[in-house]
Structure 1
């Protein structure tokens, strides 16, 4: 076996003599990763300043090495955990080790498919309320920010699923507090640690603290009322409060329930909303796909509201959403940090926070060796026949390995039901002259929102 190379011998662009590729990472990261892999292959080293090396992977074999075969040698980067901690606490996203394994085991029953099916009714009900509001608009010819509409909708759905409570209303402080807290968490993660510490009372820090206090008061009050028997609900909170550790008999504390609730809020509304917004954008660009998707919804449903029992027959709609997440994965990049010595692609890695292994789903999903004509929008890629021919880790919209997103089935069910309901009643059209650009923050959003023309079908027929 050849001797392992040093980190400095890994292939990649030189970039600036001092800063490396850090400026492009901040201003145009999607193109940075795409170009680097086009020029240097599936294993690329990007220098982030004089001391930090970012190793980017677009090979399913290398990704399997990190996420599955040697997962014990890689952990969440310390900086990412630090920046997300004020909002998410010790939830599934930030925790690790035995505590993470215990929490994952305790939470798994809440996300079984049979349990999720019971939530379908509230998903459809929230969608029908949104569609009624669209129908009643006084000036239907004005563009509607579909990105904001999807955020509002999925926040309402996750609030009902988690607490049996709609937390999306404009009078409710949860929606605004979540927006402020998430924006600040985005800022901290992307600033690479260059932000004012919490003890300095800057305007940003004060707003962040106020938002966190508001969220905590609402969530802890909901938990306290449920524990006191003042509220009831066949929801995720009830499941999480009921589960016990099989070994110790312990249940989750209020603090643990709070942290997992915040994690579910983030994963259950921000990421799905962004993916849905991108889907409406893509359908407007591809009327033939939209027509086929609408025909399936009408053939299966005949104008009635969708249910969980319809999902197996709404296969093409699911494929549309899956192909959307290939082109615009909401969690567009994930990162790991070596915590034990390892050799990756012939390069020796030592435990250090200065080395980060990155897996950009955005770049992976555009690897032409895995996805022919990668920029083409083609839901047929996710037919059972084509899916069976791809490597297991060629597609990572929900991550992979043992930390695969626990809510993946929730998101797929929710998106398919929403899509079926909307397609039966409305056409969404692009606003002429409006350019849609991706904004790669912690999640991949349409920059500046997504104004669209929302046309009732009976009007355009």
Structure 2
């Protein structure tokens, strides 16, 4: 089956009584498990959950095992989450990146940007070669000051909330922070998110609606969408137009002072040539790459920080251990230096464990290059594709008897060495894995260090984790009351 014709269809069976059916992909091979209640013609439509498809698939994997097939009408998708199977589909000799429906739908926003380009399109490789220097250690050192300045804006807002005894909406504020950081560090543009009134950030609002629309329409019936979704589709087009206008303005501002060296990602996009072809990125692709980074650099880091703060607030012993490390590495009350971030090893383990339980990007798609078998049992004809379900992979039995428990010591060096390498893949795999992972990790550790050093975190004791899905994952409705540390 073709990766260009099959959407993600990330849906799951009812929560109770799931049993195994059978599905033969092609030719000879062992049946792939399927959910119960498959209907003629409609397939597994009864189990569709457009709002939370990933969490439904996690429950399905717990029932059906590390591989199963989904079918919505004529669309089929194999979902894998077992570490041995994931190791196979991560083999670049036999498999390659594929674009599932949610990612293909994002092409209306970012076209052939790094994340949304087809493998056959040349601009993703050209952009990657041009932008690689923008994520070197020297570049990260240059971005560190911008990160600190944006964190000052956030702590100013949180100081006011602490003084008033008000709660803060954690995911909303980490989204503001991440947008301001990537805007300032990557493109020399201050979105000024914390200077705006709550809910008054047009770019963030448009981006949130775009991602939610993409997630929702990747898992519904096209006929229903045609009949009932005209208003939502019109809003979607308007939101994309707004995002493009904002990005065009950012680029236009930079072009007004072409002789000033900014030493950031936008400078590389506008002025650096591809070392292989000697070509610059064309203007349209520059916009596509900026949009890509504003979405990916914002959403993924925002979700990671929000989940990390949830776990730290719920595990005061972990927060205390992290604070002790911070106080040891950064004595006094001066700013945290670039070199000190790398010494916060326990806090980095907190981030790694957060990404294990709730990776910001919940999975990735892989397409087989030639006829093969998966697990030595399931026939995969050329062009077949699978979805790697990361939250369930990160709960594979190799993680121990209680994989849902938050435990940063899972990332002690000896524990990491004892696990299969493919058990942990929060940034994807292969040559098209996340180019900005070091940027994101530095930002996350730095932000948590600044916040833990400054505040005691008091969660609402009645809050139960509610994970919102809109391509990426974030805790929804999670608020903190803050108390300044002495």
Q: Do the structures match in fold with TM over 0.5?
A: yes
2:366 to 321, 333, 336: 336
Aligned to 2:318: 289
Q: Does 1:450 align with 2:458?
A: no
CA distance in 2, matches of 1:180, 1:32: 22
Q: Does 1:275 align with 2:299?
A: no
The answer to whether the 8 A contact 1:58-1:363 is kept is yes
Q: Does 1:155 align with 2:179?
A: yes
Aligned to 2:125: 101
Aligned to 2:357: 327
The answer to whether the 8 A contact 1:160-1:235 is kept is no
The answer to whether the 8 A contact 1:274-1:330 is kept is yes
Aligned to 2:232: 204
Q: Does 1:83 align with 2:113?
A: no
Aligned to 2:190: 166
1:309 to 339, 344, 367: 339
Matches within 5 A, 1:43-54: 44-54=67-77
Q: Residues 21-72 of structure 1: CA distance to partner in whole angstroms, max 9, x if unpaired?
A: 4443526545543444444443x22232343332222233322322224455
Structure 1 position 146, deviation (Å): 0.9
CA distance in 1, matches of 2:154, 2:472: 24
Aligned to 1:348: 379
Partner of 1:424, secondary structure, is helix
CA distance in 1, matches of 2:221, 2:443: 34
Question: Relative to 1, partners in 2 of residues 1:39 and 1:433: Cα closer, same or farther, differing over 3 Å?
Answer: closer
Aligned to 1:428: 457
The answer to whether the 8 A contact 2:32-2:69 is kept is no
Between 242-251 and 325-334, the greater mean CA deviation after superposition: 242-251
The answer to whether the 8 A contact 1:144-1:451 is kept is yes
Structure 1 position 390, deviation (Å): 1.3
Q: Does 1:117 align with 2:141?
A: yes
Structure 1 position 320, deviation (Å): 0.3
CA distance in 1, matches of 2:96, 2:313: 44
Structure 1 position 89, deviation (Å): 1.2
Matches within 5 A, 1:112-261: 112-137=136-161, 140-169=164-193, 170=196, 173-191=202-220, 202-229=230-257, 233-261=262-290
CA distance in 2, matches of 1:186, 1:286: 31
Structure 1 position 248, deviation (Å): 2.4
Partner of 1:119, secondary structure, is helix
2:293 to 251, 261, 264: 264
Question: Relative to 1, partners in 2 of residues 1:245 and 1:195: Cα closer, same or farther, differing over 3 Å?
Answer: farther
Structure 1 position 340, deviation (Å): 4.2
Question: Relative to 1, partners in 2 of residues 1:195 and 1:85: Cα closer, same or farther, differing over 3 Å?
Answer: farther
Count of residue pairs the alignment pairs up: 449
Partner of 1:403, secondary structure, is coil
Question: Relative to 1, partners in 2 of residues 1:93 and 1:138: Cα closer, same or farther, differing over 3 Å?
Answer: closer
Structure 1 position 129, deviation (Å): 1.8
Question: Relative to 1, partners in 2 of residues 1:132 and 1:228: Cα closer, same or farther, differing over 3 Å?
Answer: closer
Question: Relative to 1, partners in 2 of residues 1:73 and 1:243: Cα closer, same or farther, differing over 3 Å?
Answer: same
Structure 1 position 75, deviation (Å): 2.4
Gaps of 5+ in 2: 1-25
CA distance in 1, matches of 2:294, 2:150: 16
CA distance in 1, matches of 2:156, 2:88: 49
Structure 1 position 379, deviation (Å): 0.4
Partner of 1:313, secondary structure, is coil
Partner of 1:247, secondary structure, is coil
CA distance in 2, matches of 1:111, 1:386: 28
Aligned to 1:412: 441
CA distance in 1, matches of 2:192, 2:44: 40
Q: Residues 248-271 of structure 1: CA distance to partner in whole angstroms, max 9, x if unpaired?
A: 211001111111111111111111
Question: Relative to 1, partners in 2 of residues 1:347 and 1:294: Cα closer, same or farther, differing over 3 Å?
Answer: same
CA distance in 2, matches of 1:8, 1:51: 21
CA distance in 2, matches of 1:67, 1:338: 10
The answer to whether the 8 A contact 2:363-2:387 is kept is yes
Question: Relative to 1, partners in 2 of residues 1:192 and 1:94: Cα closer, same or farther, differing over 3 Å?
Answer: farther
**Which runs of structure 1 show a deviation greater than 6 angstroms over 4 or more consecutive aligned residues?**
none
Between 261-270 and 16-25, the greater mean CA deviation after superposition: 16-25
Instruction: State the superposition RMSD in angstroms.
Output: 2.7
Partner of 1:97, secondary structure, is coil
Aligned to 1:15: 37
Question: Relative to 1, partners in 2 of residues 1:31 and 1:238: Cα closer, same or farther, differing over 3 Å?
Answer: closer
Question: Relative to 1, partners in 2 of residues 1:450 and 1:321: Cα closer, same or farther, differing over 3 Å?
Answer: same
TM-score, normalised relative to structure 2: 0.85
CA distance in 1, matches of 2:363, 2:302: 17
